[in-house]
Structure 1
Amino acid sequence: MRKKLAIIVVVLVLITLSVLGYRNYFNGPADPTTYSGTIEGTAMPVQPELGGRIINLPVREGQVIKVGDVVAKLDDSQAKISLDSAKSQQTQAQAKLNDLLGGARAEEIQRLEYVVTQAKANLAALEPNLKFEEDNLATNQKLYEGGAISKQVVDAQQTKLDTLKAQYQSVQASVDVAQAGVDQAHAGNTQPAIQAQKAAVDITAQSVKTAELNLSKLVIKSPVGGQVLYQHVEQGQVVNSGTTLVTILDPNELWIKIYIPEAKLNQVKVGVTAYIVVDSYPGKTFKGQILYVSDQAEFTPKNVQTKEERTTTVYAVKLSITEGKDQLKAGMPADVTLLQ
C-alpha cells in the first residue's frame, strides 16, 4: 500500500513539472534583453555675443573648468572709449538739468542785461547815421530832378541807405533777442524745457548701461562646468559674434542611445530604470532611466549593428545615466539591459 502511494506521488510531481515546462516553452522565459550603445555626453559650445580680437585664452583642451570660469577675453579698448564717452555725455546732460532746475543765477542775469544795454547803445549810435543818409538821398533826388546830378549818384546813395537800414534792423533784432533772454532769466525755466532735459539725462544713463554691458560681454565665461573637449581658436585671432571658441563636455549630462525593434517596444516605457554595464568595470552594474522613445521608425545605424541587422526597422531610445557619473566617461561602449 505504501509503495503504491509513493508511485502516485512521483507521478503527480512529474505531471506538475511537465505542465510548468510546457508553459515556459510557449510563454517564453522572463530573461532580460540587452542592447548595445555608446555613452555620450552633452557638449556645450561657448560663443561670444560680440566680435573682436582674442587677447587672452586661458583654457586648453582637456582642462576641467567650473561654471563662471573665464574662457576668453576680447580686446576692450574701443568698448572702454565708448563707455567714457557715454559717461561724459551723461555728466553734461545732468549739469544742464541742474542749471535748469536751479534757475538763472544773478551773475547770468547781469550778463544778459549788459548785452541788452550794449545792443541798445549800438542801435542808438546808428540812428543819426541813418537819418543823415536819408536826408542825403532826399537832396540827391531833388538835384537829379533839376538835372544837377546823374541817376548813378542817386542809385549809389540809395544803396548806401539800404545797407545802413539792414545793419540797423540786424542790431534791432539782437536787442530783441537779448531782451527775451533777460525776460526768460527773470521768469525762470519752463516745465517743458525741464522735462525735455530730464529725458535727455535718462537717455544718456541708458547709453552708459549699454556701454557697460558691451564691455562685460568681452569677457567670455563658461556657462557650464566640465572638461574642455575642443579648442577651436587661438589667442590673437579675430572672431565674429557666434564663433565657437571652445566646446565643453558636461560630465553631469551623460546618456546613451540604443535601438529597439518594433516587436519589442512593449519592453520600453519612459521613466523605467535600466541597467548598464561597461567593459572598464567588469561585474559592476550602473543604473539609467529611459528619457524618451522616438515616435518615428528608422533603419539601424550602420556603425551599430551587423550588415544583416542594418535592414531592421528600429526605434531610438535615449536613456540618461543616473549612477556612476564619476566613473563612466563619454565614448565608452556599454550594454543596456531592459527587463521584460
Structure 2
Amino acid sequence: MRKKIVPIAIVLVLISLAVLGNRYFNRPVDTNTYSGTIEGTELPVQPELGGRIVDLPIHEGQAIKTGDIIAKLDDSQVKISLDTAKSQQAQAQAKLNDLLGGARAEEIRRLEDLLAQANANAAGVGQNLQFEENNLASDQKLYESGAISKQILDAQQNKRDTLKAQYEGAQANVKAAQASLDQAQAGSTQPTIQAQKAAVDITAQSVKAAELSISKLTIKSPASGQVLYKHVESGQVVNPGTSLVTILDPNDLWIKIYIPEAKLNQAKVGRTAFIAVDSYPDKKFKGQIQYVSDQAEFTPKNVQTKEERTTTVYAVKISISEGKDQIKAGMPADVTLQ
C-alpha cells in the first residue's frame, strides 16, 4: 500500500511546482523598475600643509560634525616663524615711530660725533697725503738727475696713490655723516616715512601668513557625517593633499541606475522615482532624478544579467529625498520610475 502512495505524492508535488512555475514566469513584469545600489557622497579630508601628525582623535564609524577636529599637525616650526615675524613687525613699527616723532637729541649728538670723527680722520689722511706728494716731487727730481732708480720712483708713486684713495674715501665718509646729521636735524622726509610704513605693512602680512599657516595645521571636518575610512595613523608624516580620512555624508544619498535607450523617455531630470530596499519591504521612499547621462555606455557587469551586458544604456542618477534615517549606503535597491 505504501509503495503506491509514494509515487502519487511525487506526482502531486511536480504538478504543484509546474503550476507555481507557470504563474511565476508568466506574471507581469514591471518594466519601469531598475536595480542599483544606494550610495553616499564621500568627502576626503586633506591638509593644505604637510607635517607630522601629533593628534588623530577619530576612529572609523564615528559620527562627526562640521568643524570637529580630525587631526593636528606639528606646528613648532611655524610658531618660530610667527615669533620672528612679530619681532620684525615690532622693530619696523618702532623705527616708524621714531621717524614720525622726529630725531631725539641723543641721536643728533651721536651723528655729530660721527661727523667730527670723519672730519678728523680725513684731516689726518690729508696731511699724510700732502707729505707723500712732497716726497714724490723730490724723488722725481732725483730720478731725472740719475740719483735714484725708476723702481724707487714707482714705489713712491704707488705710496702716494694709495693715500690718495684713502683720502677720497675719508672725504666720502664726511659727506655721508654730514647728510645723516642734516636729515636728523631737518626731520625725516615724506618718502622715507612712506617707505617705512610699507615696511611695517609687509611685516604685518608676514604675521598674518604665519598665523594662517598655524590654523591650517589643525584639520577640521568640512561636513557632518560618518568617518568611513581612516587612512593614516598618529605620528605619521603626511604631504599636502594626503587623504587623512574619508567622511560619508548621510544626508546626500543617491542611487545610479541604467536605462535602455528605448525607455529613455521615462527619465527626465526632476521626475519623481520611488526606491524600495529589502530592509523595509512595505515602504517606498521618494527620490528625484538629478542627472541623465548624455552618452550611451555598456551595461556594467554587476548590474544586469549576462545576456544584457551588451545592451547600450544611459546612466541615471537619482537623489533620495526620503528615509535618510533608514536607508544606508551599500544597500541594494529597486527604483521605480513614474
TM value normalised by structure 2: 0.82
* CA deviations over 1:143-188 (Å, ceiling 9, x no partner): 6666766666666655555554444444333322222222122222
**3-state SS in 2 of match to 1:207:** helix
Compute the displacement of 1:299 (Å).
2.4
Partner of 1:173: 172
CA distance, structure 1, for counterparts of residue 148 and residue 260 of structure 2: 122
Please give the residue correspondences for 1:271-290 in structure 2 after superposition, counting only pairs within 5 Å: 271-290=270-289
Partner of 2:104: 105
Opposite residue 100 of structure 2, the aligned amino acid is L
Contact 1:53 1:237 in 2 (8 A): yes
Compute the displacement of 1:227 (Å).
0.7
CA distance, structure 2, for counterparts of residue 56 and residue 120 of structure 1: 65
Partner of 2:221: 222
CA distance, structure 2, for counterparts of residue 280 and residue 226 of structure 1: 22
Partner of 1:248: 247
C-alpha distance 183-34 of structure 1, shift in aligned 2 (>3 A): same
Q: Which stretch of structure 1 is more off in the superposition, 174-183 or 53-62?
A: 174-183
CA distance, structure 1, for counterparts of residue 214 and residue 289 of structure 2: 44
CA distance, structure 2, for counterparts of residue 301 and residue 291 of structure 1: 20
Please give the residue correspondences for 1:159-198 in structure 2 after superposition, counting only pairs within 5 Å: 161-198=160-197
Partner of 2:330: 331
Partner of 1:10: none
Compute the displacement of 1:247 (Å).
0.7
Compute the displacement of 1:69 (Å).
0.8
CA distance, structure 1, for counterparts of residue 81 and residue 204 of structure 2: 13
CA distance, structure 2, for counterparts of residue 198 and residue 267 of structure 1: 68
Compute the displacement of 1:83 (Å).
1.4
**3-state SS in 1 of match to 2:258:** strand
CA distance, structure 2, for counterparts of residue 295 and residue 163 of structure 1: 87
Partner of 2:74: 75
Unaligned runs of 5+ in 1: 1-28
* RMSD after superposition: 2.7
Compute the displacement of 1:62 (Å).
0.6
CA distance, structure 1, for counterparts of residue 323 and residue 34 of structure 2: 19
C-alpha distance 182-282 of structure 1, shift in aligned 2 (>3 A): same
Compute the displacement of 1:233 (Å).
1.2
Q: Which stretch of structure 1 is more off in the superposition, 218-227 or 152-161?
A: 152-161
TM value normalised by structure 1: 0.82
CA distance, structure 2, for counterparts of residue 120 and residue 51 of structure 1: 58
CA distance, structure 2, for counterparts of residue 184 and residue 141 of structure 1: 46
Contact 1:32 1:338 in 2 (8 A): no
CA distance, structure 1, for counterparts of residue 322 and residue 274 of structure 2: 10
Opposite residue 295 of structure 1, the aligned amino acid is D
Compute the displacement of 1:271 (Å).
1.4
C-alpha distance 279-116 of structure 1, shift in aligned 2 (>3 A): same
Unaligned runs of 5+ in 2: 1-27
Partner of 2:120: 121
CA distance, structure 2, for counterparts of residue 334 and residue 147 of structure 1: 120
Compute the displacement of 1:322 (Å).
0.6
CA distance, structure 2, for counterparts of residue 152 and residue 267 of structure 1: 110
Q: Which stretch of structure 1 is more off in the superposition, 246-255 or 177-186?
A: 177-186
Q: Compare CA radii of gyration and give the structure with the larger one.
A: 1
C-alpha distance 296-130 of structure 1, shift in aligned 2 (>3 A): closer
CA distance, structure 2, for counterparts of residue 148 and residue 319 of structure 1: 114
Partner of 1:269: 268
**3-state SS in 2 of match to 1:311:** coil
Please give the residue correspondences for 1:5-84 in structure 2 after superposition, counting only pairs within 5 Å: 33-84=32-83
C-alpha distance 127-75 of structure 1, shift in aligned 2 (>3 A): closer
* CA deviations over 1:125-144 (Å, ceiling 9, x no partner): 55555555555555555566
Compute the displacement of 1:102 (Å).
2.1
CA distance, structure 1, for counterparts of residue 250 and residue 179 of structure 2: 75
Identity of aligned residues (%): 78
Partner of 2:200: 201
C-alpha distance 109-255 of structure 1, shift in aligned 2 (>3 A): same
CA distance, structure 1, for counterparts of residue 324 and residue 62 of structure 2: 18
Number of residue pairs matched? 311
* CA deviations over 1:225-270 (Å, ceiling 9, x no partner): 1111111111111111111111111000001112222222233322
CA distance, structure 1, for counterparts of residue 127 and residue 45 of structure 2: 82
Opposite residue 57 of structure 2, the aligned amino acid is P
Compute the displacement of 1:289 (Å).
1.1
C-alpha distance 194-267 of structure 1, shift in aligned 2 (>3 A): same
